[in-house]
Amino acid sequence: MNLKSIEIHGFKSFANKTKLKFNNRFSLIVGPNGSGKSNIADAIRWVLGETSLKNIRGENLSDVIFSGSDLSKAMNFAKVSIIFSNEDRKLPIELDEVEVTRKVYRDGESKYLINNKNVRLKDIRELFLDTGVGKEGYSIISQGKIDEILSSKPNERRKIIDEASGIAKFKYQKEESLKK
Ligand code: ATP
Ligand code: MG
């Protein structure tokens, strides 16, 4: 399973629909200060279901929507789609590619899609559980995170080890079944 591409439209500084393709090995994103590099990382977190505005460097829900510039007017939605290759079936879907989309409008209407089908945020979370990808995964390491792990409390560090070792999924399923 690996990241194939991401398409960003109306998200933060990306007024024009922008598609980035990644190869199997590694990719680097370079650019001057303020050109939108971190906004790409934010877009990846956001499409994978990030609900903490702080983690995507925003204060209000609408902060993810392009707010206008000298050249273009503000947009009324932000949309991000991400495609993973799934030949190895790491994601429990019988398809070679899995596309996840999140879209939000200024009036607050919001939706998530998996392969163009409307789903709940919960479905996105469950899809990526224990894959290392996703909101609770540690595939995106932001500035200061390493420091935070080293200085975290034992129970917080335990959560990180649970996710890395693949038992977070079972803990999640237990919590879900206890709710019923
Ligand atoms: P650095 O090298 O300094 O880390 P960067 O390439 O990571 O820079 P970003 O933080 O990704 O830059 O982008 C910041 C830019 O995105 C700012 O110019 C900011 O105005 C713009 N931006 C953020 N949110 C929006 C929005 N909703 N609408 C329009 N522009 C936005
Ligand atoms: Mg940056």
Q: What is the ipTM of this complex?
A: 0.98
Is the beta carbon of 5 within 6 A of some atom in ligand 1? no
Choice among 19-33, 55-69, 145-159 with the minimum mean pLDDT: 145-159
What letters, b where the CB count within 10 A reaches 16 and e where it falls short, cover 17-37?
eeeeeeeeeeeeeeeeeeebe
Return the percentage of the chain with pLDDT > 70, whole number: 98
Asked if residue 111 belongs to a domain, the reply is: yes
Is the beta carbon of 14 within 6 A of some atom in ligand 1? no
Asked if residue 50 belongs to a domain, the reply is: yes
List the strands of the sheet with 110-114, edge to edge. Answer: 18-21, 2-9, 77-85, 97-105, 110-114, 117-119
Asked if residue 154 belongs to a domain, the reply is: no
How far apart are the C-alpha atoms of 53 and 145, rounded to whole Å? 17
Is the beta carbon of 58 within 6 A of some atom in ligand 1? no
Mean pLDDT score, 172-180: 90
CATH number of the domain enclosing 42: 3.40.50.300
Whole-structure pTM over 0.90, yes or no? no
Q: In terms of residues, how long is the chain?
A: 180
* Predicted pLDDT of residue 60: 92
Asked if residue 144 belongs to a domain, the reply is: no
Domain that holds residue 62: 2-120
Local confidence band at 166 (pLDDT 50, 70, 90 cut-offs): confident
What is the tally of structural domains in the chain? 1
* Predicted pLDDT of residue 52: 87
| Residue among 6, 8, 11, 12 whose CB has most ligand 1 atoms within 8 A, to mutate | 12
Mean pLDDT score, 138-158: 83
